[in-house]
Amino acid sequence: MDIKAFLKLLNKYKWLLVLVPAAAAVITFFLVKNLPKEYSSEAQIATGLVDQSKQVVAAGNQNADFFKINQQFSNIIERMKMRKIMSILSYNLMLHDLENPKDPFTPYSKKLDSLDNTQRQEVIQLFKEKLQTKRVITIADNKGKYKLYDMLGSMGYNKEDIEKKLSIYRPDNSDFINVDYVSQSPKLSAFLVNTLSVEFINNYGVDVNTNQNNSIELLDSLLKKKEAGMNQKNAALKEFKMKNGVLNLDKQSEIVYTQISQNEERKAQAIREIQSNQNAIIDIDAKLRGRDTFSGGNSTVDNKEIVNLKNQLKIANDAYIDGNFKVSEKKKMDSLSRIIDRLSSRISDDNVTNPQASRQGLVQQKLALETAVSQAKGSIRSIDNELAMLKAKYNTMVPFDAGIQNFERDAELATKDYMASLDSYNQTRTEQNIALKLQLAQIGLEGSALPSKGIMYVALSGISSFFVCFAGIVVLFLLDNNIRDARQLEAATKSRVLGSLNYMNNADLSMRNIWNDNKNNPEYTAYRDLVRSLRFEISNTFEKDNTKILGVTSLTDKEGKSFISSSLAYAFAMIGKKVLLVGGETEVVKSNSKELALRQDFETFLVKRQIQTEDLITVLNKNDNNSSLLEMQNAKNLKAGFEVLREEFDVIIIDVNSLRDVNIAKEWLLFTENNIAVFESGKPIADQDKELIDYIKERPGFIGWVLNKIVLHKIK
């Protein structure tokens, strides 16, 4: 965006930006200066949703759910705007005005003013009936004797009219809901907000209580069904246990299984003891076989007696086990064991110095180990008997397990279902007792008149009209694609702009008048200076590239390229250059004689190869029929002809056809060495011109653009 160009456009329309807002403000002032006064009244409803002092919060649930609270406030506000509540409010307003004809809130409309006393009483009765039944008023109420719906609308008491100046909101995340109304009567404003608040609180409480009672009745019925189902399942479980003699199958089976595990561990321990003692006996036998046999008189007898006693001990041990561990058998075993110990001790004492003492010790150890083995084997038989009994008892419990599990599962599910229903029922009862209780915290009071909004309306009209005008100028600027200065042309064509030439209003234009101006015409002076600047740029290119032939073209006709061609020819002649102008304007004056240059045809020169040169400027006419050069001569001959002209003149300027005549322009551009393109200021670049711009830019020797017909004060 060209900021400078936009600022220029703003400066052009500055009076529009000043006058239109001023006029709008003045008109608005006269329209609003007699606005009636307005009065506001505000009532506040306390909800208890945020005030913790009004809540019973369960332990562990102290965090407030702000999203839920905001949703509850939104629901309350929307319920206040429901047609049912608004209809109740409308009925109260109408009844007030109808019952107080001398002091109504609003002057009677034509519909009410036309009623006589009897009719008014009938209408009052109809509105009281609707208020009592709390029916919503609709357009269907116009079908009766009186058009009640239209009466409300005529007084401005219908829902749509009330909501225009009614504001219901929650201020700053507080616990309150504000009800604000603005009207032309302070009494009306106070009556409306108070009536709306009170009626809503009453209706809200009734609705909430009704809904909660319905919920409790439903939950109570459901709870009784759940309780009956639970009792039925528990009774079935109890009957099954009593029928099968099972008090606590899980506990009993657990105890039996524990006893089985303990006895199996005892049996394993006994087996390990037998194996270890038998291995010890084998080792002792190996040691005894390795010693000499010694037979002492008394020792042998004692040993035989010990063997005999051990046999008796074994018999007694078996009798003790088989006799279910009788005490008498136990005593007999203990007596035999003491006798064996005494005999063993005596043999040991008798053989203190006897070489066979060690052998006797081994024998004694062997006897002791054999006794232990016998006892362990006896205990294994006892353990096996007990295991058999326990396993039989455990196996009798298995058939009842599947059945009792089904009964217990059904009873457990029924109990859980009942407890969930009981929790819901208790929660609902609790919520009913501590339910949301709306209260009118502050009643609406009659207040003084509000500050006039006239100044605000005036300021708003002025500001809005200013921005409308400003937006219009912005749109005009954005939609304006016309090229007006060199920067825009350079940006649009993405190529160099050599210079700009100003527009001249004089209808009698000639090179003589421009260059010999003695009256200091600013247009002529500026034009001469700009042409000189353009001549300087072209001369630098000629010297740099050692060229002489300049082609002057344009995108379309009548952009001033012919006049510029003649102006350049005159400008080069002023610095002593011998110039040939092919085409151009007809009134080109010789620089020294002040006379018109003779005109010759370019086609004649191509045929005769003769030209009559003037002092500094020679003009060759072009064929007005725009005939093709290549149709008159072939390219080789044309190039030869231009070589003749190069030798004769210092500068050759060709007024090439516009690029719209693309076939003719292309032929002339074949023989030019440098080219410039003229663009008229204030014209847009059309889509079809973009291809022509690309074409001329790609031509060898293209120097740049010349912006023509610029208004004098825009030239930079």
Long-range interactions of 205-210: CB distance < 8 A, separation 24+:
205/437, 205/438, 208/435, 208/436, 209/432, 209/435
Q: How many CB atoms lie within 10 A of CB 41?
A: 24
Q: State the residue for tokens 């562990």.
A: 60
Q: How confident is the model at residue 613 (pLDDT cuts 50, 70, 90)?
A: very low
pLDDT at 540 over 70: yes
Query: How far, in Å, are 44, 105, 140, 158, 189 from residue 149 at the CA level?
Result: 30, 18, 8, 8, 22
Q: For residue 90, how many C-alpha atoms fall within 13 Å in the half-sphere facing its CB?
A: 30
Residue 273 has pLDDT above 60, yes or no: yes
Q: Which stretches of 189-313 are assigned E, i.e. beta strand?
A: none
Across the range 436-451, mean pLDDT stands at 81
Least trusted range by pLDDT, from 173-187, 222-236, 338-352: 338-352
pLDDT tens-digit series, residues 310-346: 788 778 777 777 766 677 777 777 787 878 877 777 7
Choice between 105 and 210, residue whose per-residue pLDDT is larger: 105
Question: What confidence category does residue 716 fall into, taking pLDDT thresholds of 50, 70 and 90?
Answer: very low
Q: Is the pLDDT of residue 370 over 90?
A: no
The confidence band for 631, taking pLDDT boundaries of 50, 70 and 90, is: confident
Residue with the two structure tokens 């421009």: 514
Sorting pLDDT into bands at 50, 70 and 90, what band is 397?
low
Instruction: Place 219 in a pLDDT band, splitting at 50, 70 and 90.
Output: confident
- The per-residue pLDDT for 179 is 93
> Which of residues 423 and 588 earns the better pLDDT score?
423
Look up residue 398 and give its two tokens.
Answer: 């298995």
Sheet holding 166-169, edge to edge: 166-169, 176-183, 39-46, 439-442
Portion of the chain with pLDDT greater than 90, in percent: 19
- Which amino acid appears at position 96 of this protein? H
CA–CA distance, 483 with 681 (Å, rounded to integer): 6
- Letter string b/e over residues 152-178, b meaning 16 or more CB atoms within 10 A of that residue's CB: bbbbbbbbeebeebbebebeeeebbbb
Higher pLDDT, 62 or 504: 504
pLDDT level of residue 47 (50, 70, 90 thresholds):
confident
In Å, how far are 478, 490, 533, 565, 706 from 710, measured between CA atoms?
A: 21, 15, 15, 17, 11
* Listed range (21-35, 498-512, 682-696) with the worst mean pLDDT: 498-512
Predicted TM-score of the model (pTM): 0.46
Cα dihedral 265, 267, 272, 275, rounded to 10, equals: -170
Q: Check residue 312 and give its pLDDT.
A: 81
How does residue 589 score in pLDDT terms, banded at 50, 70 and 90? very low
pLDDT, position 585: 64
**What average pLDDT does the chain have?**
79
Q: Residue 194's pLDDT band (boundaries 50, 70, 90)?
A: very high
Token output for 537: 């740029």
**What is the distance between the alpha carbons of residues 645 and 550, in angstroms, rounded to a whole number?**
13
pLDDT at 586 over 60: no
Helix (H, G, I), strand (E, B) or coil at 329: helix
Q: Give 393's pLDDT tier (boundaries 50, 70, 90).
A: low
Q: Which of 467, 453, 457 minimizes the C-alpha distance to 20?
A: 467
User: 60-86 pLDDT, tens per residue?
Assistant: 444 557 788 888 888 889 988 999 999
SS (H, E, C) 404-459: HHHHHHHHHHHHHHHHHHHHHHHHHHHHHHCCCCCEEEECCCCCCECCCCHHHHHH
Note the pLDDT of residue 452.
72
Residues with Cβ within 8 Å of 455's Cβ and at least 6 positions away in sequence, in order, are none
Q: Which two tokens stand for residue 535?
A: 């001549």
Which stretch of 424-433, 556-565, 573-582, 643-652 has the lowest confidence by average pLDDT? 424-433
The answer on pLDDT for 494 being more than 50 is yes
Q: Check if the beta carbon of residue 284 is closer than 8 Å to that of residue 362.
A: yes
**pLDDT tens, 135-167?**
899 898 888 888 899 998 899 999 999 999 999
Cα–Cα distance between 134 and 128 in angstroms, integer? 9
Q: Which is more confidently placed, 250 or 170?
A: 170
Residue 254: is its pLDDT beyond 60?
yes
Domains along the chain with CATH numbers = 250-432 (no CATH), 482-714 (3.40.50.300)
Mean pLDDT, residues 401-429 taken together: 72
Of 142, 144, 124, 143, residue with least CA distance to 132: 124
H/E run at residue 552: strand 549-554
Which of 566, 546, 562 has the alpha carbon at shortest distance from 554? Answer: 562
* Bridge partner list, 552: 655, 676
- Number of helices (H) and strands (E), helices first, in the chain? 23, 14
Q: CA dist 419 to 217, 236, 423, Å?
A: 17, 19, 6
Rounded Cα distance, 671 and 549, in Å: 8
Quickly state the pLDDT bin for 453 (edges 50, 70, 90). Answer: confident
Percent of the chain with pLDDT over 70: 80
pLDDT score, position 400: 56
Q: What is the mean pLDDT of residues 649-659?
A: 91
Which pLDDT score is estimated for 193? 92
